[in-house]
Amino acid sequence: MGSFSIWHWLIVLAIVLVIFGTKKLRDMGGDLGGAVKNFKEAMREGEAGRVEEQNAPHILEGEVKEKTKV
């Protein structure tokens, strides 16, 4: 039982086209592409936010006991 030949894949493709139709498959492809695009944009925004956090000044929280002039 080796790998599938091109004829197997063509028959599977024909069955899928009959079941779903070309319009529905086109819509599903567009939805999938949009999801991948949104995912990539979110990843870029997350990386940019991480870089901004690393470049931000470090603020330590605490209580000021005395105020001195330097």
Q: pLDDT in tens for each of the 70 residues of the chain?
A: 567 899 999 999 999 889 988 888 889 889 999 999 999 998 888 777 666 666 666 666 777 777 777 6
Distance CA 28, CA 3 (A): 27
In a domain, 42, yes or no: yes
Judge residue 22's burial from the number of C-beta atoms within 10 Å of its C-beta, 0-12 exposed, 13-18 middle, 19 or more buried. Answer: exposed
Asked whether residue 8 is assigned to any structural domain, the reply reads: no
User: Is residue 13 in a domain?
Assistant: no
pLDDT of residue 38: 93
Q: Determine, yes or no, domain membership for 14.
A: no
Residue 10 lies in a domain: no
Question: Does 29 fall in a domain?
Answer: yes
What is the number of domains present in the chain?
Answer: 1
- Chain centroid to CA 2: 35
pLDDT at 39: 93
CA distance 16 to 25: 9
pLDDT confidence of residue 43: 87
What's residue 57's pLDDT? 66
Give the tokens for residue 37.
């695009």
Contact criterion met (CB below 8 Å) for 25 and 17: yes
